[in-house]
């Protein structure tokens, strides 16, 4: 999607990947089905996950992009908010956070 310029969808998939990984943590910690939510901050709080501040800051930033990317009322306006440089940064940060989450003791 990045190579074809579908930047809004890259942001959507970054959010989705983080959401699924956090739900894996919720499942591991609570031994129950995670809540039906797209709110990444809520998921972090559900398990009391102590993340590095830069990762929390990014989670908050991409969390705010969730609803507009899922249900864009004004698609051209949304696309303009995510130029390639921003999307590359989101993708890199998502990969960093996912790597940190994969190595977290919750999932061992």
The mean pLDDT of the chain is 91
DSSP state, residue 36 = S
- As a whole number, mean pLDDT of residues 4-28 equals 95
What domains lie within the chain, and their CATH numbers? Answer: 7-107 (1.20.120)
Quick check: 70 pLDDT over 80?
A: no
Q: What predicted TM-score, i.e. pTM, was given to this entire model?
A: 0.91
Confirm if 10 and 95 have CB atoms less than 8 A apart: no
Residue 48 gets the label, from left (phi > 0), alpha (psi -120 to 50) or beta, of left
- 13, with CB counted inside 10 A (0-12, 13-18, 19+), is middle
65: left (phi over 0), alpha (psi -120 to 50) or beta: alpha
């Amino acid at each position: 999607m990045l190579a074809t310029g579908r930047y809004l969808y890259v942001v959507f998939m970054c959010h989705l990947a983080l959401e699924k990984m956090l739900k894996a943590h919720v499942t591991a910690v609570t031994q129950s089905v995670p809540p039906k939510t797209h709110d990444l901050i809520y998921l972090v709080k559900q398990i009391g996950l102590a993340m590095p501040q830069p990762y929390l800051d990014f989670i908050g930033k991409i969390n705010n992009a969730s609803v507009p990317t899922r249900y864009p009322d004004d698609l051209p306006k949304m696309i303009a908010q995510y130029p390639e440089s921003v999307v590359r940064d989101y993708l890199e940060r998502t990969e960093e956070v996912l790597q940190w989450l994969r190595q977290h003791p919750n999932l061992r």
